[in-house]
Structure 1
Amino acid sequence: MAILETARFDIPLLATGQAHKELFHNEALARIDFLLHPVVQAVESDPSNIVPSPGQSWLVAPGAVNDWLGRDDHIAGWTENGWLFIVPQTVMRIYVKSSESYAVYRGSWQSAETVTNPAGGAVVDSEARLAIDSILSVLVAQGILLSTS
C-alpha cells in the first residue's frame, strides 16, 4: 500500500484498513506541532553542536553535516523518536529565537536586515526623520528588521 501524504508538508494521511494507524497519526501531529506556530532556536549546520529537547527545532543552514547532511534549508525538529525534517514552502515565515527576528523562505531562508535610522544630510527634516524612526521602531518590534543597537 502506498503511503498517503499531504501535498505541501508530507503530513501522513490515514487509509482504510491501514495497520499501525497510531504511528501515522502521531507523525502527522508532530509535523503539525512544528508548523502551527513555527519557531526555531537558531540557524545551525551541525546537529552535534546542540543538545535538543523534544519540541525544539532549528533551520538547517547550507552545508549541513552529520544527521542533517542533504537537508539544507529544512526545518529540523527534535522529537522523542529523533529528527523530523520539514521542507519549507515559498514565503513561509518562521521566528528565529537566537536573533529575535523572522526569516522568510524564498528559495532559501532570508533573515531580517539591519537598517540604521536616518542621520546627517545637507537638509534635515525633523518631522520626516521622526516619522521614519517611528516606522523603523515598529518594524524592529515586529521582528521584521533588526535593531542597530
Structure 2
Amino acid sequence: MEATSTRLLMPMMEAGQAQKERTHNEALAMLDLAVQAVVRGIGTQTPPADPATGDAWIVGDAPQGAWTGHAGMLAGWTDGGWRFVATRPGWRVWDAGQQMVATRTAAGWENGVVRAARVVIDGTPVVGAQRPAIADPAAGDTVDAPARTAIMAILEALRTHGMIAR
C-alpha cells in the first residue's frame, strides 16, 4: 500500500523507490488542484466533455462516467487526465460560477454562507451576536402614527437581518 500524507493524502516517496519523479509530480498536481482551489461548479454529476487543463469541480453525490466513485471530491482536469482530492470539513473553495466562497461542512458543501461571531469593518464593529427580541410599540396616552410606523420599520429591518430575535 502506498504511503500518503495525513491531511491531503499526497503520495509519499519511499526509500530506494524507482522513478521518484512520478510520485513527486503526482503530489504537485494534487497540490495545484487543492491549494487555493477555484471550481467551476459544485454538485456536478457528469464530467464536462472538453475541460481545459486546470479546470476543477466539486463532484456531486451521484457521479457518472469518469467521476463514478468520487462523490463529494474535488475533481480537476490535468495534462494526465482527471485527478481527485478528498475534501474535509473546513475546506474552502472559490466557486467561480457563483462568485462566492463555498465551505465544506460535515453535511456537505455550503455555498455563500458566512459564519462569524461578529463583523468588523475598518475597526468598527457593525454586526455582533443576535440580541433578545424587542416588543412592538403598543398604544399609549399619546399616539404618534408616523413615529410608530418608523419604529416598526426599524424593528422589522433588524429582525429580517437577524440582529434581534422575532
Shorter chain as denominator, the TM-score bin is 0.7 to 0.9
User: After the TM superposition, which parts of structure 1 deviate over 4 Å for at least 4 consecutive aligned residues?
Assistant: none
Q: Deviations over 1:68-110 (max 9, x none)?
A: 1121110001111111000001111111111111111113111
What is residue 53 of structure 2 aligned with on the other side?
A: 54
Unaligned runs of 5+ in 2: 114-148, 162-166
- Aligned-residue Cα RMSD (Å) equals 2.4
Count of residue pairs brought into register by the alignment? 122
Give the superposition deviation at 1:125.
2.6
**What TM-score, normalized by structure 1, do the two folds share?**
0.73
Contact 2:91 2:104 in 1 (8 A): yes
Q: 1:18 to 1:98 in 2, by over 3 A?
A: same
Do structure 1's residue 111 and structure 2's residue 111 form an aligned pair? yes
**The residue matched to 1:30 in structure 2 has which SS?**
helix
Q: 1:121 to 1:35 in 2, by over 3 A?
A: farther
Contact 2:34 2:74 in 1 (8 A): no
Contact 2:73 2:84 in 1 (8 A): yes
Give the superposition deviation at 1:41.
1.1
**What TM-score, normalized by structure 2, do the two folds share?**
0.66
Distance in 2, matches of 1:23 and 1:97, equals 31
